[in-house]
């Protein structure tokens, strides 16, 4: 069974043929996908999708790109969403991004509010991180959500060691299959097996074999294939480990 722990089926690029994408998923070996949202509109769609399809779980968040649009009274709205649905298993994606056109102080305020929410409801915090190291680890430690996943891990192995030493999970995406992704490949080789997860981040980050096209959750198998070869492990064994890790990382008992 394959699990895509981070995808965006709520994204507008899936709005026209989502049922076909979902059908392909049903017929594939993909067992579960965690649908990640980046703003209020997407969070609403994500909730809807998780109600429509048993294998879709919802992750509710506000990406740093949208931090300027965030109204803090919305936290109450998000509380309502969480209470309304057992399919919400995570808060994210949330985090910090050096490329966001939003002042860092504002990104930080929004990030902290959602980390608090994750902690309050014992939900996994799914982190988007571009360009930060100790700063982001300090903020997460300060709030202390119960479980943390660094999504689309794209930094070096030294940072990976710091992240996993805190007990956080690291999730690799399709960019690990790119030929020039030396640092990411090295990080994956160094990742402890019990902290490893895989994702597509679809529709983004299509793996090498469909590079430039729209990505879909079924391509999570390309990420697994790459990691199995880097770590010289059997794919069946790796899939089993990844499934166990998914259950632990998201406290999923189904
Ligand atoms: Zn994402």
Ligand 1 center to residue 2 CA distance, Å?
A: 18
Ligand 1 center to residue 128 CA distance, Å?
A: 7
pLDDT for 202 equals 97
Ligand 1 center to residue 205 CA distance, Å?
A: 9
Ligand 1 center to residue 230 CA distance, Å?
A: 24
Ligand 1 center to residue 194 CA distance, Å?
A: 22
pLDDT for 114 equals 98
Burial of 75: CB neighbours in 10 Å, binned 0-12, 13-18, 19+: middle
3-state secondary structure of 121: coil
What is the chain's pLDDT, residue by residue, as a tens digit (254 residues)? Answer: 899 999 999 999 999 999 999 988 988 888 899 999 999 999 999 999 999 999 999 999 999 999 999 999 999 999 999 999 999 999 999 999 999 999 999 999 999 999 999 999 999 999 999 999 999 999 999 999 999 999 999 999 999 999 999 999 999 999 999 999 999 999 999 999 999 999 999 999 999 999 999 999 999 999 999 999 999 999 999 999 999 999 999 999 88
Ligand 1 center to residue 237 CA distance, Å?
A: 26
C-alpha torsion sign, points 94, 98, 99, 100:
positive
Give all domains of the chain, ordered by start, each with its CATH number: 2-249 (3.20.20.140)
Other beta carbons within 10 Å of 153: 27
pLDDT for 148 equals 98
Measured in degrees and rounded to the nearest 5, phi and psi for residue 95 equal: 155, -150
Cα-Cα end-to-end distance for the chain: 14
pLDDT for 83 equals 98
Ligand 1 center to residue 201 CA distance, Å?
A: 5
Ligand 1 center to residue 39 CA distance, Å?
A: 12
Ligand 1 center to residue 166 CA distance, Å?
A: 22
Residue carrying structure tokens 């919305």: 74
pLDDT for 29 equals 85
Ligand 1 center to residue 63 CA distance, Å?
A: 9
Ligand 1 center to residue 35 CA distance, Å?
A: 9
Q: Residue 45, preceding bond cis, omega within 30 degrees?
A: no
CA atoms of 253 and 30, how far apart (whole Å):
17
Closest CA to 175 of 144, 207, 197, 201: 207
Ligand 1 center to residue 5 CA distance, Å?
A: 10
Ligand 1 center to residue 11 CA distance, Å?
A: 10
pLDDT for 53 equals 94
Ligand 1 center to residue 93 CA distance, Å?
A: 6
Ligand 1 center to residue 23 CA distance, Å?
A: 22
Ligand 1 center to residue 38 CA distance, Å?
A: 8
pLDDT for 31 equals 87
């Amino acid at each position: 069974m394959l699990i895509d722990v981070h995808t965006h089926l709520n994204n507008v690029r899936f709005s026209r043929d989502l049922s076909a994408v979902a059908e392909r998923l049903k017929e594939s070996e993909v067992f579960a996908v965690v649908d990640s949202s980046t703003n209020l509109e997407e969070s609403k769609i994500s909730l809807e999708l998780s109600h429509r399809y048993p294998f879709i779980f919802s992750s509710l968040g506000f990406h740093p790109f949208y931090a300027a649009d965030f109204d803090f009274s919305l936290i109450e709205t998000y509380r309502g969403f969480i209470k309304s649905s057992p399919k919400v298993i995570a808060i994210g994606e949330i985090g910090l991004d050096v490329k966001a056109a939003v002042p860092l102080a504002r990104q930080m305020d929004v990030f902290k509010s959602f980390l608090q929410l994750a902690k309050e409801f014992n939900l996994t915090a799914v982190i988007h991180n571009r360009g930060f190291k100790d700063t982001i680890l300090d903020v997460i430690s300060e709030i202390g959500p119960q479980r943390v996943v660094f999504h689309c891990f794209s930094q070096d192995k030294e940072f990976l060691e710091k992240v996993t030493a805190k007990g956080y999970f690291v999730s690799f995406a399709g960019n690990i299959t790119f030929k020039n992704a030396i640092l990411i490949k090295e990080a994956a080789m160094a990742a402890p097996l019990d902290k490893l997860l895989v994702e597509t981040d679809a529709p983004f980050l299509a793996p090498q074999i469909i590079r430039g096209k729209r990505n879909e959750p079924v391509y999570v198998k390309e990420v697994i294939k790459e990691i199995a070869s880097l770590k010289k492990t059997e794919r069946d064994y790796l899939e089993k480990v990844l499934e166990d890790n998914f259950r632990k990382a998201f406290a999923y008992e189904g």
